[in-house]
Amino acid sequence: MSNFVDGKLTQAEQSDRHPLVDPVTGEEYGTAPASSAAAVDAAMRSAANAFERWRATTPAERQALLLRVADALQSRLPDLVRAELRQTGSRGAANEIPLAGDQLRFFAGAARALQGLAAGEYATGHTSYVRREPLGVCAQLAPWNYPMMMAALKSAPALAAGNTVVLKPAESTPATALLFAEIAAEILPPGVLNVVCGGAETGRMMVEHPIPAAVSLTGSIATGVDVATTAAASLKRVQLELGGKTPVVVFADADLDATVQGILTGALSNAGQDCTAASRVLVAEELHDELLAALEAGVAAVRTGGPDDESALYGPLNNADQLARVSGFVETLPDHARVVTGGHRVGTAGYFFAPTIIADVREDDRVSTEEIFGPVITVQRFRTEKEAVRLANSVVHGLASSVWTTDHARALRVSAELDFGCVWVNTHLMFPTEMPHGGFKHSGYGKDLSVYGLEEYTRIKHVMHRFA
């Protein structure tokens, strides 16, 4: 594979290459550049040149072009799905392309309706108004869990607001971001959307580069700290969508069947490789045994398998490191914790992991405090509403949470107390494009999706005219 810069595929000269591995088989199927400083510089310069023209387009002109990009993605659906399946092994890959199209369409329109203060005479004899302007070149760093959807989710608001983009997909999943850029380049001017391949080192070069005005990362907390620290040296604007440790708070009056269904889908979809996975169940003591038995029975019917296996709910973990990480959590469980089901790799090829339930965990256990990012559900009990909220909020993460109850007043009370950027009530893993997605605490700052996500890519300028 090659970088996509200035409207064309480019060999990233002087760059090393790294292997691309099929997570279904564990076999290498290609290579991609580990882009060098020179390759990053070429992409930044291309984006900076393109910005001069792109910023001068009207929102309506950009909307028309981005809507065409969304249509073009849809017309290339089979190619995109094939590429996504190859690099993720997940049949859910097919859903990502319509989602990407929806995000492009939303932001294309939203950029025509930016909000702000009314112009007026806030000082005698002077008229003030506010301009919302694009930032410039945006460096964007994406993870591997939904590669195509992430490429659109990151770039669409930036482009719609009049910025140009240098996007770096994760090292293991560059294919669909590259294809996206190639498809978009038939419609957008050269340099507006550039994609460079590589891993952490290339990412750091992007953050250090003098051209970008802003950096947006979706990734782990450790990466977020590094990106924010590096960006601070040149005071770049930073937006961080980082890891989560999502509590699923189940009260004794919850609808058991709906809750079990919500947990299984929310925890196991995409092999649990979701920053909001329903992975940390906190359940009222009275319901604990019944819920655990129902989850165990539900998991017994769940299979993992490759994209050709229609009976499989989810596919492989994305890479060998992730398989080792998820296995490591189970191997280092404290004695008091109990693996109810699963806890092991499935097969010897690829990176499949069995659906897993771990019970009797305690608040300070590593499985209770760190993001696992695999098909693993932990179950812990609470006695009172107050304890439920305290346990839920006890982690450093603050991305998403869910509450399961039929008591409306309790749902309202607990939603206000939970220290998370999203609270779902009697549902989980829902992301309408109109609603903001983003965390508190160590899950980062800033929002993706929604008009708030669009505003991340604008700056506010006060202009004042004296007329008397």
Count other Cβ atoms within 10 Å, centred on residue 45.
18
Q: What is the DSSP string of 274-338?
A: STT-S-EEEEEHHHHHHHHHHHHHHHHT--B--TT-TT-SB---SSHHHHHHHHHHHHT--TT-E
**Nearer of residues 185 and 275 to ligand NAD, judged by Cβ:** 275
- Owner of token pair 């292997």: 19
Cα(135)–Cα(409) distance, integer angstroms: 43
**Nearer of residues 96 and 171 to ligand NAD, judged by Cβ:** 171
CA distances (Å), origin 63, targets 66, 107, 267, 432 = 5, 8, 36, 20
**Nearer of residues 144 and 180 to ligand NAD, judged by Cβ:** 144
Q: Give the E-state strand segments of 53-107 in sequence order.
A: none
Q: How far is the CB of 174 from ligand NAD (least distance, A)?
A: 9
Point out the catalytic residue in the list 84, 171, 241, 371.
241
Point out which residues bind ligand NAD (CB under 6 A). 141-145, 168, 170-171, 199-200, 203-204, 207, 217-220, 223, 226-227, 241-244, 275, 371, 373, 399, 439
Q: Which of 210, 174, 237 is nearest to 40 (CA)?
A: 210
**Nearer of residues 199 and 436 to ligand NAD, judged by Cβ:** 199
197 is catalytic: no
Cα(458)–Cα(156) distance, integer angstroms: 13
Point out the catalytic residue in the list 84, 96, 197, 275.
275
Q: Which of 112, 137, 132 is nearest to 50 (CA)?
A: 137
**Nearer of residues 204 and 459 to ligand NAD, judged by Cβ:** 204
Q: What is the dihedral of CA 148, 152, 153, 158, to 10 degrees?
A: 150
Q: Taking CB positions, which residue lies at the least distance from ligand NAD?
A: 203
Q: How far is the CB of 200 from ligand NAD (least distance, A)?
A: 3
Q: How far is the CB of 212 from ligand NAD (least distance, A)?
A: 12
Cα(162)–Cα(100) distance, integer angstroms: 19
**Nearer of residues 80 and 275 to ligand NAD, judged by Cβ:** 275
Do the beta carbons of residue 349 and residue 397 sit within 8 Å? no
**Residue type at position 464:** M
422 is catalytic: no
Report, as residue numbers or ranges, the catalytic residues.
241, 275
